Amino acid sequence: MTKHDHRYDLAQGSNIDGKNVSFNTNNGDLTIQGASVVAENELIAKANNITIKEAENRIYSEDFYSEQKSGLMGSGGIGFSIGSKKETTENDQTKDYASGSQVGSLKGNTTLLAQDHYRQQGSTVSSLEGDVNIGSKKVDVLAADDKYETHYKHIMEQKGFTIAVNSPVVQAAQNVMAVVEQTHQVGESKNNRINALAAANTAWAAMRAAESVGSALSSAQALANGDIKNANVSVSLTYGEQKNVQTQHIQGNTATNSAINAGGNVTITATGADNASDINIVGSDVSGKQGTRFLADDEINFLAAKQTHQERSNNKSSGWNAGISASYGSDGFAFGVTAGGNDGKGYGNGDETTWRTSHIGDKASDTVMVSGGNTTVKGAQVLGKSIISDVENLTIASVQDTMSYTGKQKNISGQATVGYGASVSASFNQSKMNADYASVQEQSGLFAGDEGYQVNVRQHTDLTGGLITSTAQAEADGKNSFSTGTLSHSDIQNYSNYSASGFSLSGGVTISGGDAPQEIGGMKLQQVGENHKDGSSKVEYGGVAGVGTQGNWGIAKGLATALLGQVNDKGSESSVTNSAINTKNIVIRDNEAQLALTGKSAAETAQAIQKTNLHQALKKQDVETIRSDLESDLNTATEFVNNTNKIGDEIYYRIEKNEQNIYLKHKKASDCDNISCIKTSEIDVDRLSVPQTKEEAEQLARLYVHGIMNQSDEDRTIGAIQYGGKEYLNNDTLIVRRAYSSLPAELTFTIFERLRGGLDMPSIFGASNASRDQAKIWGLVDEYNRQNPTNRVNLSPVNHSLGASGTKNAMNWAKHEGMSFKNTTLNAYIVGTSYPITNDTLGSKLTGGLYDKGYTETAAGLFRDGSVEYASAPRDIVATGINLPFVPGDLSIGIGNTNTTGNNSVGIPLWDMIMGHHTKAYYRDEESVRFLKTNEKGNINIEKISEIEKHQKRIWGQTGPKTEKIEFNNVILKNKEEKK
């Protein structure tokens, strides 16, 4: 529904024209309002009071728009809504504006003589070719005051049921769109920190999109095959209500100037009433092409007209939702209950004052001002080829446009889900902005041309950001003179400041089901959270809720939120509008009074005021742009903090505090010839005891620690066989299960694990449960060796890639806990290391060994004796780092910083690493290659085996990695190369 109501109250002006036009009343008044009076030759008006003013016009408009929809509607995603949506917009505007009168002569003179009072407002008096003469006891030439006012209100109300469908395919599409949206944010902010956060957000979004594509393909394939269980489809049905209200009120006024123009002279005289004979020109223009003259018994005032603008805006939003969600996947059908709400409010208040400057005189003719009293030039400019002024007191002051703005916005939202377990999350954000501005736009003063100025002030002159000046030619010709009794002057400070800030917080808590029922009425509840390994309920705190519960990790998240989750923008400009007189010919007559007034002599004061004028008008801040930029930057910062908190919580709960970190790969059965028949079983490290037999001890002595991107136990088991070779294939082997959560978490944890390995500060950075479990197992083996000194078992761990950093952190943790293994020999085997094998690295040398203490040196301080055998492919940049040609890895900038043990032939490091220098190069022996390249049917992939052998021979000159070994006896190291 649309309603439109316009009401017009428009003045219809009268028109009078003639060859000669004359108005003459002996005792009456003459009023011309909104009319046009034009004479071809002479126009003469004589009356007691003459008023020439504007006619008032009023326009009022009222618009009402209402739209209501009900039934089936889009939901903005994959799904639809059934309900109603109503939007209403109310807008009314009132505008009062002037239609000025036009009075004048085309060829002759215009003469307006009032016995008592001449008043001209928002109108024009002119004489195109002749003179304009205005005389009265008092003369007022004023601007008209145009007013405006606007009221705006918008309401949106929506309620109903929403059905949303989600699946890996949908999620992948949304993630791809998120990458596109995030990409547009990079580089858009003027804040480099925000741009860096936007780039990080884009990178994380790209990782999620890349990862979700694989799940989407699997889901799509399952759907194509009719396998709905493995399509992981979920549906939610919620009822919700939302209401948003926005209001705005604007009001203000603008000045419509009066004008007096003549092709000849303009002469305005106010005489006959002594102290009441004033000339006031306010927000208007007066100029004669041949000359402009003002004569008043008392005051002459050239002033600016004030214009104001006020804006008040408010917004409020609130809503809630509740419903059920259901999923159907490999575990069957499950459902849960969800509910949430939101509330927000904000305001913006702005006040602005501007000035309509009066302009007096013409720069091509003379301007004369003679007053028996004070003359004030405030918010006005007096122009003339020459300017002559003889006044009692002279005040020249510039006026500042001003603006102030304050705004604030707060939003809070929360969501809860209950199933087999429960979770609650909440977010809060707040922003505020302040702006303050004051600046002179047009400097007030006397601006003379080549004929200069002659100013005589009988008493006192005061300049506040005021200027008396001429062309350089006039000063050079000695045509300027300024004489006053006393003089005071001051400058005006202009400024334009703004500050904008915002911050956001988010957090939540998840409580797993534990002993709670897993179904209701035979219907399975959706699992929320993960139980402890003993089946008891686990509480996980997300976002800032984890600050007090996650130790140093939580503190780090809190600091990241405090430092990066807030945005601040501020700006400040300043300038000066000074007072100056550009002539050397300055006379201050009353030296004694000058000293009493200013503390300076007449000569000192004259010297001080004679200076180059400085005036720089400042622009007021664009409030809308600042507010928009703040909102955009806050969204970017919030997204970054949410990403870091999500990734941080994943790392803390899914990786750092994972409770099942070790499993057992059983030795290969005699009839097993491929990976599918390898058996595994869980190991609870907390329940392990000291081995009672050598066989039990040997089972603990073989421990494989894997690198990144091992998403399943099968991936980890393959790695143990690939890099551990036939020894790990044919014997029981423990495998570290560093859980995989997501690609962003995996890559972030990789950086963190490597850095804390080098920093060796477990009291601050801790160690993952996987690293702690390694140390526990070493302790059990060492205790066995202590009890069985004649039947010892050597530890023979295998590390690949990030596994080396994980084991280094296990050693850091063991040392931190006061553990030592002086009954045990360590024979470590490392390929594609992510951590320096020795101290001989650039980082270690620059820090005196404080950072990047070598793997071998750390082991030597913990174990009885042993060796570290390692292989590093020449273009495996994880192991060697990024190095210049012929520069060994220990002096490179990178990760592993370890010299290559292979052939240093020329190649492309990153490409070669992708093509196998970090993986394929490290197959340990022929038996492991053959086993892993045999499928479930027993078919051997001879082509793949040949490819691996050729690849290794190019790198190593042999099948299997070429290694170097460093032996140690406590802290005594010895190098020995072994070729295999």
Q: Please indicate whether residue 626 or residue 400 has the higher confidence score (pLDDT).
A: 400
CA–CA gap between residue 101 and residue 122 (Å, rounded) = 8
pLDDT, one tens digit per residue, over 235-286 is: 888 999 999 999 999 999 999 999 999 999 999 999 999 999 999 999 999 9
Cα-to-chain-centroid distance, residue 312: 25
At 640 the pLDDT is 86
Q: Which residues pair with 467 in a beta bridge?
A: 445, 580
Q: Which residues pair with 577 in a beta bridge?
A: 492, 615
CA count, 13 A, side-chain hemisphere, 249: 4
Angle among Cα 540, 541, 542 to the nearest 5 degrees reads: 120
At 41 the pLDDT is 97
At 643 the pLDDT is 87
CA–CA gap between residue 754 and residue 746 (Å, rounded) = 12
Contact 169, 220 (CB under 8 A): yes
Radius of gyration of the chain (CA): 44
Q: Does 818 map to a domain?
A: yes
Domain span at residue 964 reads 679-978
CA–CA gap between residue 743 and residue 208 (Å, rounded) = 7
Cα 268 to Cα 250, 272, 273, distances in angstroms: 39, 13, 15
pLDDT of residue 688 exceeding 70, the answer is yes
- Residue 356: strand, helix, or coil: strand
At 980 the pLDDT is 37
Q: Please indicate whether residue 980 or residue 412 has the higher confidence score (pLDDT).
A: 412
Residue with tokens 């804040």: 191
> What is the β-pairing status of strands 285-288 and 21-24?
unpaired
Q: Please indicate whether residue 190 or residue 524 has the higher confidence score (pLDDT).
A: 524
pLDDT of residue 553 exceeding 80, the answer is no
Cα-to-chain-centroid distance, residue 670: 63
Q: Does 746 map to a domain?
A: yes
Cα 764 to Cα 38, 151, 559, 672, 759, distances in angstroms: 91, 58, 14, 46, 10
At 979 the pLDDT is 38
Neighbours of 313 (CB within 10 A): 16
Contact 242, 157 (CB under 8 A): yes
CA proximity to 20, closest of 45, 47, 53, 52: 45
Helix (H) / strand (E) element for 224: namely: helix 192-224
Q: Please indicate whether residue 192 or residue 603 has the higher confidence score (pLDDT).
A: 603
pLDDT of residue 886 exceeding 60, the answer is no
Residue with tokens 């399509």: 231
Confidence of residue 694 (pLDDT cuts 50, 70, 90): very high
CA–CA gap between residue 187 and residue 967 (Å, rounded) = 52
Q: Please indicate whether residue 336 or residue 303 has the higher confidence score (pLDDT).
A: 303
- What is the token pair recorded at 902? 């292979």
- What is the token pair recorded at 109? 């003179």
CA proximity to 543, closest of 642, 423, 653, 656: 642
CA–CA gap between residue 391 and residue 370 (Å, rounded) = 6
Q: At what angle do helices 168-185 and 623-649 cross, to 10 degrees?
A: 130
Listed in sequence order, the residues at least 6 apart from 294 whose beta carbon sits closer than 8 Å to its beta carbon are: 268, 269, 279, 300, 368, 369, 370, 371
Model confidence, pTM: 0.80
pLDDT of residue 971 exceeding 80, the answer is no
Q: Please indicate whether residue 178 or residue 970 has the higher confidence score (pLDDT).
A: 178
Listed in sequence order, the residues at least 6 apart from 254 whose beta carbon sits closer than 8 Å to its beta carbon are: 146, 148, 307, 356
Residue 647 phi, psi dihedral angles, 5° rounding: -65, -45
**Which amino acid does the sequence have at 204?**
W
pLDDT, one tens digit per residue, over 577-598 is: 999 999 999 999 999 999 999 9
Would you give the DSSP letter of residue 893?
Answer: B
> What is the β-pairing status of strands 380-391 and 138-142?
unpaired
Listed in sequence order, the residues at least 6 apart from 832 whose beta carbon sits closer than 8 Å to its beta carbon are: 707, 800, 801, 871, 872, 873, 876, 878, 879, 896, 918, 919, 921, 922
Cα 103 to Cα 34, 137, 728, distances in angstroms: 10, 21, 109
CA–CA gap between residue 112 and residue 126 (Å, rounded) = 11
- What is the token pair recorded at 581? 């007189």
Cα-to-chain-centroid distance, residue 142: 48
In our burial notation (b when 16+ CB lie closer than 10 A, e otherwise), range 229-249 reads eebbbbbbbbbbebebbbbbe
Residue with tokens 């929320």: 528
CA proximity to 138, closest of 281, 269, 285: 269
Choice among 108-122, 544-558, 727-741 with the minimum mean pLDDT: 544-558
Choice among 79-88, 164-173, 784-793 with the minimum mean pLDDT: 164-173
Choice among 170-174, 572-576, 771-775 with the minimum mean pLDDT: 170-174
**651-655 average pLDDT score:** 91
SS3 for 518-532 is CEECCEEECECCCCC
Q: Please indicate whether residue 555 or residue 457 has the higher confidence score (pLDDT).
A: 457
Would you give the DSSP letter of residue 657?
Answer: T
Q: Does 825 map to a domain?
A: yes
DSSP 897-964: ----SS------HHHHIIIIITTGGG---HHHHHHHTB-TT--B-HHHHHHHHHHHHHHHSSSS--EE
Confidence of residue 337 (pLDDT cuts 50, 70, 90): very high
At 479 the pLDDT is 97
Largest CA distance in the chain: 139
CA–CA gap between residue 347 and residue 368 (Å, rounded) = 52
Residue 706 phi, psi dihedral angles, 5° rounding: -90, 170
**Which amino acid does the sequence have at 81?**
S
Q: Quick one: what percent of the chain has pLDDT higher than 70?
A: 93
Q: Does 918 map to a domain?
A: yes
- What is the token pair recorded at 222? 């399952």
CA–CA gap between residue 252 and residue 312 (Å, rounded) = 12
Contact 913, 875 (CB under 8 A): yes
> What is the β-pairing status of strands 332-356 and 400-419?
antiparallel
Choice among 173-187, 382-396, 868-882 with the minimum mean pLDDT: 173-187
CA proximity to 525, closest of 658, 378, 423, 649: 423
At 172 the pLDDT is 67
Q: Does 706 map to a domain?
A: yes
Q: Does 811 map to a domain?
A: yes
Contact 666, 737 (CB under 8 A): no
Q: For the chain, what is the domain count?
A: 1
Residue with tokens 């939901």: 75
CA proximity to 362, closest of 293, 425, 439: 293
The mean pLDDT of the chain is: 91
**420-437 average pLDDT score:** 94
Q: Does 128 map to a domain?
A: no
Sign of CA dihedral 547, 551, 553, 559: positive
Q: At what angle do helices 743-759 and 802-816 cross, to 10 degrees?
A: 50
CA–CA gap between residue 924 and residue 909 (Å, rounded) = 22
Q: Please indicate whether residue 363 or residue 841 has the higher confidence score (pLDDT).
A: 363
Torsion region of 283: left, alpha or beta (phi above 0 gives left; psi -120 to 50 gives alpha): left
CA–CA gap between residue 374 and residue 461 (Å, rounded) = 10
At 219 the pLDDT is 64
At 607 the pLDDT is 96
**834-839 average pLDDT score:** 92
Q: Does 262 map to a domain?
A: no
CA–CA gap between residue 856 and residue 799 (Å, rounded) = 13
pLDDT of residue 888 exceeding 70, the answer is no
pLDDT, one tens digit per residue, over 455-506 is: 999 999 999 999 999 999 999 999 999 999 999 999 999 999 999 999 998 8
CA–CA gap between residue 533 and residue 661 (Å, rounded) = 11
pLDDT of residue 664 exceeding 90, the answer is yes
Confidence of residue 343 (pLDDT cuts 50, 70, 90): very high
